[in-house]
Structure 1
């Protein structure tokens, strides 16, 4: 019995040493929440914004999901000078949809990017081409993904906020559209891996290497983007948005990441399997991080998101000792506290999801049960370099 208690205490102390510092870091980030900038609101443009924004949309076989974006962009007002769709030789009719939109709105322009050079990833290459062909008279460059569904007043609201707050670059977190049970359970757990690692949206992060960004809706002063050579510094990154934002922040420019749930929605992937494969392999952000950052983030996620459920379940379903040791009781209390935080975070992010048409929407509230799986996905992604993305294959070099 004494030997069993000694082993139990040793294991408990070891886990506490892993979890307590990580919990302190997590709390230091979450406690910044009350100071965050409120969500962006849609706004009407004012005359000084006339023709101030060039929008660039990279596309590759997006025919099934680009229509809401094209319609939403047409509803933006006179602050938008041009909308350049840079297509990478889609084979599914995407260019035809853009040409049809152009007949209704002359601000649309379709171009095909040059063959992908060695060392470039497709998305930053398309965005870079769009930047080079955009009007130098625009004050702002905006990159939007084809799966975005913008509300009227998105661009005016974002530009006005950027100018009022003095941002040189600002991106938005969207409202996610969920449709199927599996993704309703898995996607929030994957999103939580980002929320645990970084400051809340709306907090100005002072350390460039900890800056967060989302290329789905990415606004940058044209002069700043020209200063850093467009997307060249993120040419080989599979998380080019974060890589570019951190490079720009490192040069002293003000970079922001704000809550955009009231101004844009996104339907990213169809079902849990596609979410696991496509989104999961970019969430590690290894292309924008040093090895020390990657290992630090993996430790934090393992400690505060991966372990709590496992430890609590192990305690509940293992033979209970008659007199649990103090370290074991402390360990159990800490992990129950972490689970409480996790469910509180679920309530906090609920407005970031559109679950009106979802089947099995109740699974959203069970997403903490997917946390160990989500953390495993980040570990798998952190040690693998993508070889295929959006239908493009990349060499191992």
Structure 2
């Protein structure tokens, strides 16, 4: 009798826990499915294009730098290969000590469009990157219709700028940015980075889908094109001056002012080698992925619930069933297991969907076959949720070689 009562009590406890988890997860699954259904109708990745005469001198490029000597070389070489649509390429250096200015000056000898300037000391309330971009915007030619912010760790393909401008014109965008093709090398980053990227894919519509409400706009500052007239009207980068995710903050502010903002798939025209290894990826990228500087408290809480439901819970729940084998009659426990197996299936399907957005640095694999660590990245999903949670409750005190005290957030 005692054994029977114990089993009955255990079954009731499992059922109650399962019902509670179902209540938490089920709405998140509906939100995810509503976003995934938009995938087939999204705009395909943009293709490199040859500039046409009407684009002559239409774009001023701004590249912010701070000790980028180890990785800026491919970016400078790629910018040189852009066509006559690029009027000027302004490198805004924050007094680098590693030889970055020398590399820029060497490029300047080959391409007169390059110009090197130093930004002024960082004003109170500003973060370094938006300050450098703002400085570059203020020093750019007023004859350019567009201003393109490019990060030093990117590798733009020939025809990137022309294709980006033409896509913006065709879609009627005032501001448009691109998701890149990620170049990875070490096993740890192959395992962790896709899980961190998935935190963005779960929270936002796929790149290339129709405009969302301003508070849900997504952007990527690694390749960030905006009409000069729009930047002039919104005060340059001042709205994002204190933000550690200045790209999203500025894009959402621009969208809130009634301008059309787009986020497109740029995997065919833009590569990026962001960080070296899993530790650096965890530290540097992980602390800005929460996007708290661009979101309200309610948005942050909603996103944390979504990621907890879709990334934090599925793997532990399935493992729990495998290890403890709770009763699986048609009950909340049975439904919970089925729901989380379904979520893991979606996760692996998404992994296959984003595979074209990755390549190995060494390119030893024929046909760019991705290493098996990439396919193990779903195992890092609970860790990715923990990273976003930690980032959401912490304010960075160090960023790209700069130390910050408490930065006063801009309104």
Q: With the length of structure 1 as denominator, give the TM-score of the two structures.
A: 0.98
Stretches of structure 1 lacking an aligned partner (at least 5 in a row): none
Q: Shift in Å at residue 92 of structure 1?
A: 0.1
Q: Shift in Å at residue 325 of structure 1?
A: 5.4
Match of 1:376 among 383, 386, 390: 386
Is 1:106–2:134 an aligned residue pair? Answer: no
Alpha carbons 1:173, 1:259 under 8 Å: kept: yes
Alpha carbons 2:175, 2:225 under 8 Å: kept: yes
Alpha carbons 1:179, 1:358 under 8 Å: kept: no
Which 4+ runs in 1 deviate beyond 3 A? Answer: none
Separation in 2, partners of 1:396, 1:294: 20
What residue is the counterpart of 2:190 in the other structure? 184
SS of aligned partner of 1:171: strand
What residue is the counterpart of 1:337 in the other structure? 342
Q: With the length of structure 2 as denominator, give the TM-score of the two structures.
A: 0.95
What residue is the counterpart of 1:352 in the other structure? 357
SS of aligned partner of 1:111: strand
Q: Shift in Å at residue 6 of structure 1?
A: 1.1
Separation in 2, partners of 1:102, 1:358: 31
Task: Tell me how large the CA RMSD over aligned residues is.
Answer: 1.1
What residue is the counterpart of 1:126 in the other structure? 132
What residue is the counterpart of 2:406 in the other structure? 396
Separation in 2, partners of 1:368, 1:358: 23
Separation in 2, partners of 1:356, 1:171: 24
Alpha carbons 1:9, 1:325 under 8 Å: kept: no
Separation in 1, partners of 2:160, 2:321: 49
Separation in 2, partners of 1:346, 1:88: 38
Deviations 1:88-133 (A, max 9, x none): 0000000000000000000000000000000000000000000000
Q: Shift in Å at residue 4 of structure 1?
A: 1.2
SS of aligned partner of 1:58: strand
Separation in 2, partners of 1:194, 1:225: 26
Separation in 1, partners of 2:80, 2:404: 35
Separation in 2, partners of 1:239, 1:334: 34
What residue is the counterpart of 2:331 in the other structure? 326
What residue is the counterpart of 1:251 in the other structure? 257
